[in-house]
Amino acid sequence: MCNTTPSSPLSFPPPLKKSTNHFLVDLNHNPMDPNRISGDEDDNDLYRWPTLSEVADEMRSIGKISVPTAMTGLVLYSRSMISMLFLGYLGELELAGGSLSIGFANITGYSVLSGLAMGMEPICGQAFGAKQRKLLGLTLQRTILLLLSASVPISFLWLNMDGILRWSGQDRDISSAAQLFITVSIPDLIFLSFLHPIRIYLRTQNITLPVTYCSVVSVVLHVPLNYLLVVRFKMGIAGVALAMVWTNLNLFLLLVSFLLFSGVYKDSWVSPSADCLRGWSVLLKLAVPTCVSVCLEWWWYEFMIMLCGLLVNPKATVASMGILIQTTSLVYVFPSALSLGVSTRVGNELGANRPARARVATMVSLACAVVVGLAAMAFTTSMRHRWGRLFTSDDEILELTAAALPIAGLCELGNCPQTTGCGVLRGSARPTTGANINLGSFYLVGMPVAIVMGFVAGMGFAGLWLGLLAAQASCAALMSYALIRTDWNVEVERARELTKSSSSNACPAAAAAAAAASDHINNKVGDLVQVLCIVDSEKKASLETDPLMISHDVGI
DSSP per residue over 204-267, as a string? TTT--HHHHHHHHHHHHHHHHHHIIIIIIS--THHHHHHHHHHHHHHHHHHHHHHHHHH-TTGG
Q: Which DSSP category does 108 fall into?
A: I
What pLDDT is recorded for position 545? 32
Mean of all residue pLDDT scores within the chain: 83
349 or 520, higher pLDDT: 349
pLDDT tier, 503 (very low <50, low <70, confident <90, very high otherwise):
low
Provide, for the chain, the percentages of residues in helix, strand and coil under a 3-state DSSP scheme, each rounded to the nearest 5: 75, 0, 25
> Which one, of 11, 121, 38, lies nearest residue 430 by Cα?
121
Question: Residue 16 pLDDT > 50, yes or no?
Answer: no
Determine the residue type at 228.
Answer: L
Q: How far apart are CA 159 and CA 186, in angstroms?
A: 9
Confidence of residue 84 (pLDDT cuts 50, 70, 90): confident
Q: HSE (CB half, 13 Å, CA atoms) of 539?
A: 5
Maximum Cα–Cα distance for the chain, whole Å?
A: 78
Overall average pLDDT of the 401-408 stretch: 91
Is the CB of residue 218 less than 8 Å from the CB of residue 252?
no
Mean pLDDT of 315-328: 82
Q: How far apart are CA 57 and CA 33, in angstroms?
A: 16
Helix (H, G, I), strand (E, B) or coil at 385: coil
Q: What is the pTM of this model?
A: 0.80
Nearest Cα to Cα of residue 223 among 252, 249, 243: 243
- Find the mean pLDDT for residues 212-224: 96
242 vs 42, higher pLDDT: 242
Please answer whether residues 15 and 489 qualify as being in contact, where contact means their C-beta atoms are separated by less than 8 angstroms. yes
Residue 41: the pLDDT is: 55
What integer pLDDT is reported at residue 388 of this predicted model? Answer: 85
* Lowest-confidence region among 183-187, 321-325, 371-375: 321-325
Give the pLDDT band of residue 120 (cuts 50, 70, 90): very high
Q: What is the pLDDT of residue 32?
A: 39
Q: Please give the average per-residue pLDDT across 104-128, as a whole number.
A: 94
Q: b/e map of 235-263 (b: 16 or more CB within 10 Å)?
A: bbbbbbbbbbbbbbbbbbebbeebbeeee
Asked if residues 412 and 380 have their Cβ atoms less than 8 Å apart, the reply is yes
Predicted pLDDT at 528 = 35
| Helix runs in 118-232, H state only | 120-129, 133-159, 161-167, 172-184, 186-203, 209-226
pLDDT, residue 43, reads: 65
Q: What is the pLDDT of residue 488?
A: 94
526 compared with 432, residue with greater pLDDT: 432
pLDDT of residue 205: 95
